[in-house]
Structure 1
Amino acid sequence: MPGPRPDRPGGDLVLVYGGTFDPVHNGHLAIARCARDELHAPVRLMPAADPPHRPPPGADAAQRTRMLELAVAGEDGLWVDTRELRRAARQPGVPSWTVDTLRELRAETGATAPVALLMGADSLLGLPTWREWEHLLDLAHIVVAERPGNALDGQLPAALAARLRDAWADDAARLRERPAGRVWRLRQPLQAESATAVRRLIASGGHWRELVPDAVAGYIGAHGLYGCATA
């Protein structure tokens, strides 16, 4: 898709893809590219500084960010937004809450600009464990990418199903009609790899390099991350 360069994000829909990215792998990039192309909007990949709802990452924030930068280098419409890391530097010890990130973005974009949060189905299913999760749709739309084994139909927790009941959109264009409040399912051929599986393969000496971009594999090897023998 011809689109904005990473240094010129632009676009009328602010599309955010947050996560630990520990490490970023081909499945992450497949989701980001599909969302970029389907929504005709650049994607901000936003590494979390201190995820409050997941175990500590296997690489530090600077390393995870560098791997993301290597993964998207030269790609139109994909760029790295480090606002959560900057906020953590200003507020040491304060968790990196998604709701705070969306409030910060909303303050920048104004009340009427459409903002969307891109996440996997597993994250959506766990949404009730997030801080102030009921307010996320007041601040942004949600774009959810399904993952093998995490089908959404009929499997939502009751509180989540009630919150999302009237939010589902049948067309991506609906996300541009209002600033927040809708949920749209991103249809794409998903890849089965996960960051957990990649880390496990690295630690066990298995075949993992084909699951991440070449530049990321080189960085992991050079820095001995996740138990990888240094190159």
Structure 2
Amino acid sequence: MKVLVFGGSFDPVHKGHVAVLKKALAVIKPDITHVVPAYQSPFKALSPTPFKLRMQMAKAAFGKLGKNIVFDDYELKQGGKTYSYQLVQYLLQRYEQPEIYLLAGTDCLNDLHHWKNPQYIFKHATVVAGKRRGFTENKVDFKHIFLPGQFPKMSSTRVRAHILASGAIPQEKVPAAVGQVILKNDLYGLDVHRWLQAHLKPNRYLHSVKVAELCAILSDIYEVPVGQAVQAGILHDAAKGFSGPELIAFCKEHKIKVPFFEDICRFEPLLLHSYASAWLAQHHFGVKDKDVLHAIAEHTLGSLQMSTLSKILFVADISSKDRKYKDAFVIRTLAAQDLEKALLYAANRKLWFTIDSQKWLCPVGIELWNHLVKCAA
């Protein structure tokens, strides 16, 4: 009896998943197929997307691909991290002398030797993989089958980042039925976009989207997790809809620590929006990542200990595609080549904007400029 098993987080299911399973069904011709959403992958943190919704997306995407597809909640019943060898054990116990085919992505094929109890998997199952474009095959010494053709280079991480950055579901990557589940349940940041649209002016909301999109591009160049970059970008101006007096009251009410707080309150209270936005990100939107929170808090004035993520957001904020002044393009182009030089240029522009507007210069911004000049010398 041929048993094909396809496990994954499916967070969300994308068209790459559909394509590889469809091809595997045609090539292997299994008697039965188990689609097994992970409760918690051994290689990832517990997904904030409920298991039942990921199962629902799997059913929506795969349900019509063939007969005898079992949507298996085995890992939910396990209630924790489940390893592939345990899934193989489970199938060996469930069926009499099954011929097991384990469908895996090419991105993990070369790492199978590092999985938990890999020899058990190799002994009892044949690994089936679809090649993505650009895949470099290492020598493998276990039973495996490569599916014919090449498959789309997609990832659920990228799909989530796209939705969080833009507030739109990429139809070219997500099956329509899966998109309906995402929409109905406000997944992957769609709720964030609704909140921002309700609390920001249209041009400020557009700016947040464009900053998030630029952060995503720069995150690839400077090897920052795209989810972090997009989250910082989309939420960096969450408090921008508050007036100066409202920002002062908000920071006092929530006891937000702000350098030179009294001077900022007196001379330029709108500078408080970055610190208030970080508070909203943490307490309203549930962001726990300290790098993301620091980047949001520092995106206006900067700091002397900026992470790569903070630098990306600082630069993206002043050079996003909605910015119409002539130097925005220069900074954006420079950022794709040299982040440190782009940061220096961005800090320079911010200081000149403030001076030209005859506004108060916050000491934090002056300290950053002096620090960057020393580092560049």
Q: What interval of TM-score do these two structures reach, taking the shorter chain for normalisation?
A: 0.7 to 0.9
CA shift for structure 1 position 68: 0.7
Tell me the distance in 2 between the aligned counterparts of 1:21 and 1:131. Answer: 21
Cα distance in 2 for residues equivalent to 1:73 and 1:186: 21
Task: Indicate the residue corresponding to 2:42 in structure 1.
Answer: 52
Conserved? CA contact 1:71–1:216, under 8 Å: yes
Report the Cα offset of residue 131 of structure 1: 1.0
Is 2:117 the partner of 1:132? yes
Asked whether 1:61 is paired with 2:46, we answer no
Report the CA distance between 1:79 and its aligned residue.
4.1
SS of structure 2 residue aligned to 1:66:
helix
Of structures 1 and 2, the one with the larger relative CO (CA 8 A, separation 6+) is 1
Match of 1:22 in 2: 11
How high is the TM-score relative to the length of structure 1?
A: 0.75
Partner of residue 226 from structure 1, selected from 184, 188, 198: 188
Taking only aligned residues, the RMSD between alpha carbons, in angstroms, comes to: 2.0
Residue 113 in 1 paired to residue 98 in 2? Answer: yes
Greater C-alpha radius of gyration: 2
Moved over 6 A (4+): none
**8 Å CA contact 1:34, 1:188 repeated in 2:** no
Distance 1:121 1:69 in 2: 23
Higher alpha-carbon deviation: 52-61 or 42-51? 52-61
- 1:86 equivalent in structure 2: 77
Q: 1:53 touches 1:130 (CA, 8 Å); kept in 2?
A: no
Mapping of 1:1-231 within 5 angstroms? 12-41=1-30, 42-77=32-67, 78-88=69-79, 94-110=80-96, 112-152=97-137, 155-156=138-139, 161=140, 164=141, 167=142, 182-205=143-166, 208-229=170-191
CA positional deviation for 1:215:
1.4
Partner SS state of residue 11, structure 2: coil
CA distance in 2, matches of 1:30, 1:79: 18
3-state SS in 2 of match to 1:115: strand
Query: What is the alpha-carbon distance in structure 2 between the residues aligned to residue 53 and residue 136 of structure 1?
Result: 17
Shift of 1:105: 0.6
Distance of 2:129 and 2:63 partners within structure 1: 25
CA contact (8 A) 1:22 1:58 kept: no
Q: % of aligned pairs identical?
A: 26
Q: Deviations along 1:27-68, whole A, 9 cap, x unmatched?
A: 000000000011112432210111111233241211111111
CA distance in structure 2 between the aligned counterparts of 1:207 and 1:87, rounded to whole angstroms: 32
Partner secondary structure for residue 4 of structure 2: strand
Partner amino acid for 2:65?
A: E
Conservation of the 8 A alpha-carbon contact between 1:147 and 1:192: yes
Structure 1: 5+ residue runs without aligned partners? 1-11, 89-93, 168-181
Shift of 1:188: 2.6
Once residues 113 and 47 of structure 2 are traced to their aligned partners in structure 1, the CA distance between those partners, rounded to angstroms, is 22
Cα contact 1:53–1:129 (8 A) shared by 2: no
Give me the TM-score of the superposition, normalised by structure 2: 0.47
Q: Which residue number in structure 2 is paired with residue 170 of structure 1?
A: none
Corresponding pairs, count:
190
Q: Using the alignment, how far apart are the partners of 1:55 and 1:122 within structure 2?
A: 18
Amino acid of the structure 2 residue aligned with 1:17: F
Question: Could you list the per-position Cα deviations for residues 65-113 of structure 1 after superposition, in whole angstroms to 9, with x for gaps in the alignment?
Answer: 111111123332344222121222xxxxx42111111101111223x32
| SS at structure 2 position matched to 1:107 | helix
The structure richer in helix per residue is 2
